[in-house]
Structure 1
Amino acid sequence: MLTPSEQWTWYYCPQQDRLLLDIDDQLQFSSELSAANLNDKPVRQPFSLAEAEAFWRFHEALQPVIADDALRFELCLHALANRYRQLSAHKSWYFATQRAQDSGLYQLVQLQGKDTLLALVVASDLECVECLLLEDGESLAGKQLSRHTVIRVLRNRALPTEVDVGYARTA
């Protein structure tokens, strides 16, 4: 398993129109973030100590539910790329209101659309949480949502989940 390093570098690539992370000479992570989604276009932004700490917190949260090491690694990088994402309006109408719960950063939650989707909270504020979807599914509005998507919802749409071995998934 690769471990975070100060040698890792974030940057925006205009040719690919993506936020990229150079991991080493032979490995590069391509996020799903295009210029239109970025609040900042980094130019050779080194991976920080805070990002390394967040990486391990995301990794630890995902370990009980994502069995595949490569998929867990990729999901951690998608979660970290979210810091460059432009703040968007919440899409709370995609999901049913849950009983009052408070979800926090690094927590696994369920979002109830037409499908129940497992997600990881990657950012939060007083009113909303931003959730990285860990699986594909359909919203209440009939919109197909894919794994790796980060979606912002009101806090009352995210139901904290107890980790259950039955949730373990592979690619």
Structure 2
Amino acid sequence: MLTPSEQWTWHYCPNKDRLLLNIDDSVQFTSELTGTMLNQKVVHQPFSIEEAEAFWRIQDVLQVMVSDETARLEYSLHALANRFRQLSAHKSWYFATQRQQDIGAYQLVQLQGKDLITALVIASDLECIECLLLASGESLAGKALAHCSVIRVLRNRAQLLEVDVDLARSA
């Protein structure tokens, strides 16, 4: 398992038109974020303590659902890259209305489209949550939604997934 380090650095690569995370000289994570999706063009930004703490929280939450270490790493890095994403409009009409719940970051939820899609909440505000999809699925309107994509929805479109998570690890 890779361990977060201040040696990890975020940067935008214009040649690939992607946000990248340099992990070491031979390993690089390529996010799905293109230059037009970014809120800033990152030149060289070291991985922060807050990101390391979030990385371990995400790992702990995902461990109950995702047994593959490589998949957990991929989901974690996609979730962390989201802080560089421009705020987008919510796509709440993609999903059925659920009962209102108090949902915060790093919780697992389910979104009901034509398919039931499990997601990780990676950001929240008063009205909406941003969810990293942990599986592909189809929206109510028939739109195909890919795993690892991020979607912003109103809070009443998500249902908490009840799982027992031990958050014993810290950065």
**TM-score normalised by the chain length of structure 2:** 0.95
After TM superposition, list the pairs within 5 Å mapping 1:10-159 onto structure 2.
Answer: 10-159=10-159
Where does structure 1 lack aligned partners over 5 or more consecutive residues? 165-171
- Paired with 1:158 and 1:61, the residues of 2 have a C-alpha distance of 17
Q: Tell me the matched-pair count.
A: 164
- Paired with 2:126 and 2:162, the residues of 1 have a C-alpha distance of 23
SS at match of 1:24: coil
- Paired with 1:21 and 1:100, the residues of 2 have a C-alpha distance of 36
- Paired with 1:100 and 1:125, the residues of 2 have a C-alpha distance of 14
- Paired with 2:116 and 2:41, the residues of 1 have a C-alpha distance of 34
Match for 1:64: what amino acid? Answer: V
Residue 103 of structure 1 deviates from its aligned partner by 1.0
Give the RMSD, CA atoms, in angstroms.
Answer: 0.8
SS at match of 2:109: strand
Where does structure 2 lack aligned partners over 5 or more consecutive residues? 165-171
The runs of 4+ residues in structure 1 deviating greater than 2 Å are: none
- Paired with 1:19 and 1:141, the residues of 2 have a C-alpha distance of 30
Residue 163 of structure 1 deviates from its aligned partner by 2.1
Q: Deviation per CA, 1:32-80: give whole Å up to 9, x if none.
A: 0001100011111000000000000111110000000000011000000
- Paired with 1:131 and 1:119, the residues of 2 have a C-alpha distance of 6
